[in-house]
Amino acid sequence: MSDWDVDELSLEAWVSDLETVVDAAGLERFPLLGISQGAAVSVAYAARHPERVSHLVLYGGFGLGGKKRAPAEKERRIAMATLMRQGWGADNPSFRQLFTALFIPGATHDQADIFNELQRRTTSPECAARYFDVAGDLDITDLLVAVKAPTLVMHVRGDLIVPIEAGRQLAAGIPRARFIAFEGKNHLFLQHEPASDRFFEEIRLFLGG
């Protein structure tokens, strides 16, 4: 439902989007959840607006984008962005299946088919590649120390999109953050997998409910 022709893709633009949504919703103080690259956006928002974020929950996130973590990971991401531009919108899902296998390697055939089609429907090939490039270049490591809210960082051990070490480093940079590792490989949870149940239980406990 969102616009496919986006003029600016950047951390600043994403934080601005979040600020607009928060203001429109009339929220004064609230817990904030950031998943994957959304963790970087959430950290930046929490550092900028410490008076508004009561708790910060981060899952599958990173402080340093994949193109900056290691040379080999940078090369892989450049190759994947090229594949996005060439095949993301094609009727044949072969290109998108590569990303599905990385995001949810534990998916059933039906779940993989659904995710393949979801990718095609949600954005254009060019916008997908631009989004992937920008996320790979993110670096919010200098903002971590500015986070004041109690913070819970969670990650699955076998994540193929964002390695667990990136999650550990994210937690290590945030004062007094708690880090929890789950068993699993799926960057995005699948219904009824143990990591999914644990994820919601840990959030409930963290928020005091």
Q: Is residue 73 one of the residues assigned to a domain?
A: yes
Q: What is the pLDDT of residue 85?
A: 87
Give the other-Cβ count within 10 Å of 155's Cβ.
28
Reported as a single tens digit per residue, the pLDDT across 109-124 is: 999 999 888 888 888 8
Residue that is last in its domain, among 89, 110, 134: 134
Q: What is the pLDDT of residue 202?
A: 97
pLDDT at 93 over 80: no
Half-sphere exposure of 73 (CA within 13 A, CB side): 17
Q: What is the pLDDT of residue 2?
A: 67
Q: What is the pLDDT of residue 10?
A: 94
| Three-state DSSP class for residue 58 | strand
> Average pLDDT of the chain?
92
Query: In terms of domains, do 176 and 91 share one?
Result: no
Q: How many domains does the chain have?
A: 2
pLDDT at 90 over 80: no
Query: In terms of domains, do 147 and 180 share one?
Result: yes
Alpha-helical regions (H) of the chain: 11-25, 38-48, 66-69, 71-87, 94-103, 109-122, 125-136, 164-173, 194-206
- Please state, for a pLDDT cut of 90, what percent of the chain lies above it: 73
Q: What is the CATH number of the domain that holds 182?
A: 3.40.50.1820
Residue with the two structure tokens 């500015």: 146
Q: Is residue 4 one of the residues assigned to a domain?
A: no
pLDDT at 166 over 80: yes
Residue that is last in its domain, among 134, 165, 185: 134
| Segments forming the whole domain that contains residue 104 | 69-134
Q: What is the pLDDT of residue 122?
A: 83
